[in-house]
Amino acid sequence: MYDLPQTDSHVIHEDLKVRARDVQVYYGATHAIKDVSVDIADKTVTAFIGPSGCGKSTFLRCINRMNDTIDVARIEGDILLDGEDIYDPAVDPVQLRARVGMVFQKPNPFPKSIYDNVAYGPKIHGMAKTKSDLDDIVERALRRGAIWEEVKDRLLEPGTGLSGGQQQRLCIARAVATEPEVLLMDEPCSALDPIATAQVEELIDELRQNYSVVIVTHSMQQAARVSQKTAFFHLGNLVEYGDTGQIFTNPQDPRTESYITGRIG
């Protein structure tokens, strides 16, 4: 029914990339995330599912401290990246975000050329010494974003002129250009048509070779197709977390079962 990647379940590694312990998020007086503890493995696709407003995007944005930009947001608890607390006062969120890349719900290329879109991150992080280094980085990133063949002849045209699916793959290329270790994706396919979605999903599966990918999605089919681990959020709580196959075939919690069978949500 859900096209489960059963054969992949043995691939899951036990080396952890991100460890979250008792994370609480408050937006002003609203308690948006309650006691969430989750371990995200390296070289794995982890899907966050749950009904709208359940806090999955909020939690995702905690992992690269994008919530810092919201004045009223307050975060408690620990999130460790490779054993280091990312909310330690000594941590510079700018450095963190170079290691934890993000792809957003709506494709948001800069109003610059395709080349500049991808080159921007490596440039500000000083990753390229020469112009040809930068060219190589851009090409590699665009290839990994599975968009190189489509744009190689028009690198200097504006990124905003691409189609929605191409824009999203450009944004993925832009995110991987800085060589992050974790890639966060906030509903990356919600603005795309089925064909573009299939392309992006294929891409996500390839990215798993190098990165730890965390994807928020509204589509349970998508979670089943691309992820090895799934976390189900409901009303700010992490209800259930486990192997994707197990969550979709044999959920332990009645709320999970209700959600995946379409009774709540």
Partner 1 sequence: MTDATAPAAPARGSLKAADERTRKRNAAEKRFRLYGLTAVGIGLILLVTLLSAIVSNGVGAFQQTFISVNVFLDPERLDKQGNRDPADLRKVSTFGYTPLIQNAMLATVADAGVQTPLTKGTDMRPMFSAGAAAQVRNFVLENPDRIGDTVAFRILAASRVDGYLKGRVQREDVARDKNIDAEHLDLTDALVEAGVVEKTFNLAFITGSDASESRAEQAGIGVAMIGSFFMMLVVLGLSLPIGVAASIYLEEFAPKNRFTDLIEVNISNLAAVPSIVFGILGLAVFIQFAHLPQSAPLVGGLVLTLMTLPTIIISTRASLKAVPPSIRDAALGVGASKMQTVFHHVLPLAMPGILTGTIIGLAQALGETAPLLLIGMVGFIASNYPDGLASGFLDPNSAMPAQIYEWAKRADPAYYERAWGGIIILLVFLLTMNFIAILLRRRFERRW
Q: Which is nearer to partner 1, 104 or 248 (CB)?
A: 104
- The amino acid at 178: T
Q: Which residue type occupies 260?
A: I
Number of residues assigned to the chain: 265
Q: Which of these segments, 28-36, 49-57, 128-136, 169-177, binds partner 1 (CB under 8 A)?
A: 169-177
CB of 79 to partner 1, least distance (A): 17
Among 23, 25, 86, 175, binds partner 1 (CB under 8 A): 175
Cβ distance 96 to 221 under 8 Å? no
Distance (Å, rounded) from C-alpha 238 to C-alpha 152?
Answer: 43
Closest to partner 1 by CB, 98 vs 142, is: 98
Considering only CA atoms, give the Rg of the chain: 18
Q: Is 125 in the site for partner 1 (CB under 8 A)?
A: yes
Cα torsion angle, 126, 131, 136, 141, sign: positive
Please report whether residue 132 would count as binding partner 1 according to CB under 8 A: no
Distance of closest approach, residue 158 Cβ to partner 1, in angstroms: 8
What does each C-alpha distance from 171 to 24, 61, 101, 184, 216 come to in angstroms?
Answer: 29, 17, 10, 12, 16
In the bound complex, what is the minimum distance in angstroms from residue 213's beta carbon to partner 1? Answer: 15
Contact, 256 vs 240, CB < 8 A? Answer: yes
Cβ–Cβ under 8 Å, residues 32 and 232: no
**Which of the residues 187 through 226 are near partner 1 (CB under 8 A)?**
none
Shortest distance, CB of residue 3 to partner 1, whole angstroms? 30
- Taking CB under 8 A as the criterion, the residue among 6, 30, 124, 157 binding partner 1 is 124
Q: By CB under 8 A, tell whether 147 contacts partner 1.
A: no
111 binds partner 1 (CB under 8 A): yes
Q: Which is nearer to partner 1, 65 or 225 (CB)?
A: 65
What DSSP state is assigned to residue 45? Answer: E
CB-based contacts of 73, cutoff 8 Å, min separation 6? 25, 26, 27, 67
Provide, rounded to whole angstroms, the least separation between the CB of residue 107 and partner 1: 9
Strands ordered across the beta sheet of 45-49: 84-85, 73-81, 16-27, 30-41, 237-243, 229-234, 45-49, 212-216, 182-186, 100-103
Q: Please identify, using beta-carbon distances, which residue of 45 and 60 lies nearer to partner 1.
A: 60
171 lies in the site for partner 1, by CB under 8 A: yes
Of 51-110, which residues contact partner 1 (CB under 8 A)?
A: 64, 66, 69, 71, 94-95, 97-98, 101-104, 106, 108-110
Q: Which is nearer to partner 1, 50 or 109 (CB)?
A: 109
- Residues that bind partner 1 in the complex, under the rule CB under 8 A: 64, 66, 69, 71, 94-95, 97-98, 101-104, 106, 108-111, 120-121, 124-125, 160, 171, 174-175, 177-178
